[in-house]
Structure 1
């Protein structure tokens, strides 16, 4: 038993050392205010030394301000990385081949409310209000637009057409008579996905829990630590 405990401690220490180095490099190269939370897949960690590919690497940063865009939460997942033994030991990522990089941006009510100009915006899945509810292509929004005396609720569609992401009200609830057009205008929004802090244009937009997510993918790429952040080293 003591031998197993010792092996676990050593394995965890090696994983933490590599993860902390990746987090520190990402923070420095991408000029983040805080280091991301980094996790390297493959258990036990040292088994990665004997694999041709490390199954996964993830980095998550919360509540960061992206210049020219605003406040976001972001998660980057990399799948099937070809790491050298030196990179596994040190956590220094440079010219690492990987099969897939997925970037997810999450806008909560505060962040999305800034785009709409609604300070009390609440976001929810119109079909499943539980935090673990699955993704939906529609979103329920509740808030008080400028000029309104109380909150109103809309069900809006989230869509991607070519490179444009749109939020379009489909159903109005609790709207005072005569303010229907103003409500539709207040909750309508669009953005070119090229303006999002993502490596490629978004290929998916959805609501889950109390947030709106944007997602993009890159396949068969080469990465370093700066690719794990929504803020580019070149910004």
Structure 2
């Protein structure tokens, strides 16, 4: 009789890590990561939407400002206050900056400005800006209430030179004297009211205006001329920028120093003096001071607590 078959011993099922139930800590970490990612996405989305709405509001105000009679181009507009949606809903912004470039000046005065259009820049920096309920879409006739506003009109070297009939004029703001490292990055944009450096070419004998179609700075000019640097003081009278020459400049900044015949020195120096007509400051602000800023010159003024109309910029 054959022996009975024996069944193989039964082995207990093995338990692998995959079959083990997941502990609570990894699940908690995964949930935390998902929640954090969702929060980041929501914050970024809200920021993008707010930035887009802010840009749209600034663009609308820019186009409304462009309806001002003297603005040919849409100005740059920046509202202060984040988030934009909150401030727009309240009709209250911390600040407003407007920069209008390419403001045409009358074709009058100097020969250069009669022949070539001269341009200025206008701008304002206002604080405590209240727009009322129309903050989302400021129309040209909208009123803005400003706690304080500083306005300016600016000429660069090229346009100031045209207005003085000194077509190669350059403006420089010398660094403070007696200061180690003066004029370095730590000083930022240099500004001065006195001792501003002007460099240009003057015909001999000097004339108050360019009488030839070929200016003295041109290579085709055949008459006697000198290229010199002088210092001037800046002030303001009514809406005019006043340049008062004080002396010839001999350093330490880079300068021009052609020999000027003795009999012409006073006349050459006076050639850099003038009362330069400037456009009225935005929103009727009265100019009270003038200064250089790097290679530009400007007049500016400040006012407090005024209500202005957008299209009267």
TM range (shorter): 0.7 to 0.9
Matches within 5 A, 1:64-143: 64-67=103-106, 70-84=118-132, 86-92=133-139, 94-127=142-175, 132-138=188-194, 139-143=196-200
1:214 equivalent to 2:299? Answer yes
Relative distance call for 1:160 and 1:205 in structure 2 (3 A) is: same
Relative distance call for 1:49 and 1:25 in structure 2 (3 A) is: closer
For the residue of structure 2 that corresponds to 1:29, the secondary structure is coil
> What are the ranges of 5 or more consecutive residues in structure 2 without an aligned counterpart?
1-39, 109-117, 177-182, 205-223, 250-256
Tell me the equivalent position of 2:44.
5
Relative distance call for 1:136 and 1:49 in structure 2 (3 A) is: same
1:45 equivalent to 2:84? Answer yes
For the residue of structure 1 that corresponds to 2:226, the secondary structure is coil
Tell me the equivalent position of 1:146.
203
Q: CA deviation at 1:10?
A: 1.0
Given the alignment, which residue of 237, 243, 246 partners 1:167? 243
Tell me the equivalent position of 1:197.
280
The Cα offsets for residues 21-60 of structure 1, whole Å up to 9 and x where unpaired, read as 1111111233532111111111221231465731111111
TM-score (norm 2): 0.65
Which has the higher Rg, Structure 1 or Structure 2? 2
Relative distance call for 1:24 and 1:49 in structure 2 (3 A) is: closer
Aligned counterparts of 1:6 and 1:222: Cα–Cα separation in 2? 36
RMSD of the TM alignment (CA)?
2.5
Aligned counterparts of 1:164 and 1:35: Cα–Cα separation in 2? 25
For the residue of structure 2 that corresponds to 1:144, the secondary structure is strand
Higher relative contact order (CA 8 A, sep 6+): 1
